[in-house]
Amino acid sequence: MLSRRCGVLGDPIAHSLSPTLHRTAYAELGLDWAYDAHRVPAGGLEEFVSGLGPQWRGLSLTMPLKREALALVDRSTDRARLAGAVNTVVLEDDGTRVGDNTDLPGAAAAIRERTSAPLATAVVLGGGATATSTGLALAELGVGSVELLVRDASRAAETVAALRSHPAGIDVRTGSLDAPDALVADIVVSTVPAGAQTSALVERCAAVPVVFEAVYDPWPTPLAASASGRTLVGGLDLLVHQAALQVELFTGRPVAVELLRDAGERALAARNPG
């Protein structure tokens, strides 16, 4: 029987919890599959994929490869095309590459796991591929107005276009990460690194009742640490929900989200003892 291989690709990649989550899932399913992390810089995805053998079944993609991957698949799902980004590639036995985006449904599920509150307005910090998928997830949950806070509006053009293309016809605006005004919204989503979360930016978010921090390591980020008393959706929540969807796409079998969360929490605790 052909032994299967899967992996996560990106740059940087050493921090990724995906190997822990997928290996846990495969063990639970009784599958002797391999899953490893591979450092692949921007522009290197095509070379990596072209060298894969028939034992390869699936790829998880992280920054900076999600948008690059869209042009390299033979077929893509509606949600991948809507996001303009692929974070999951299923390698069929006939060589067909199928691109999907599990970040979008994963983000929606992560939010709804933590809150059932109605969401109409949102602020998203950052304008990259993760901002796109989470913004689209918010639109799926009923958000009709999204403000993207960025340092360079031109770099968020793809995200703005993707959000405006959502069938719900949401209102999308851009603003500055460095502006001084307090933010007013039902939810704030951060897709920026912890190091970019200045005290001034964190203070701007203080009145927003739901905080979604897409980063899971380091944890807590300044924004997450400030969310005491408010609803907090963490990066691990997003990671485990999208990973469970990936596992099912790769193997054809479901796995419990809680199993993956427990594995992720143990791995993070081992990285950051005390």
Is residue 141 domain-shared with residue 250, that is, in the same domain?
Answer: no
Judged against a pLDDT cut of 70, whether residue 16 lies above it is answered with yes
Residues 113 and 193 in one domain: yes
Indicate whether 263 and 223 sit together in one domain.
no
Tell me the per-residue pLDDT of 208-251, one tens digit each, with 9 for 90 and over: 999 999 999 999 999 999 999 999 999 999 999 999 999 999 99
pLDDT at 138 over 50: yes
Q: Which of 68, 7, 14 shows the shortest CA–CA distance to 43?
A: 68
Question: Stretch 165-174: mean pLDDT, rounded?
Answer: 95
Q: Once rounded to an integer, what is the mean pLDDT over residues 148-174?
A: 94
Confidence of residue 2 (pLDDT cuts 50, 70, 90): low
Backbone CA torsion sign across 78, 172, 158, 116: negative
Query: How large is the C-alpha radius of gyration of the chain?
Result: 18
Residue 155: band (very low, low, confident or very high) from pLDDT cuts 50, 70, 90: confident
What is the CATH classification number for the domain harbouring 50? 3.40.50.10860
Q: What is the pLDDT of residues 78-90, one digit of tens each?
A: 999 999 999 999 9
Give residue 1's pLDDT. Answer: 47
Confidence (pLDDT) at 272: 82
189 and 242, same domain (yes or no): no
**Based on the domain organization, do 214 and 111 belong to the same domain?**
yes
The residue to which tokens 């307005």 are assigned: 121
- Residue 2 is classified by DSSP as P
Residue 248 annotated as catalytic: no
Same domain, residue pair 60 and 28: yes
Give the residue numbers spanning the domain of 265: 5-100+237-271
Number of domains in the chain: 2
108 and 224 inside one domain: yes
Beta bridge partners, 187, equal 122, 210
Q: Are 233 and 114 in contact (CB under 8 A)?
A: yes
Report pLDDT for 274.
64
Catalytic residue from among 57, 66, 97, 261: 66
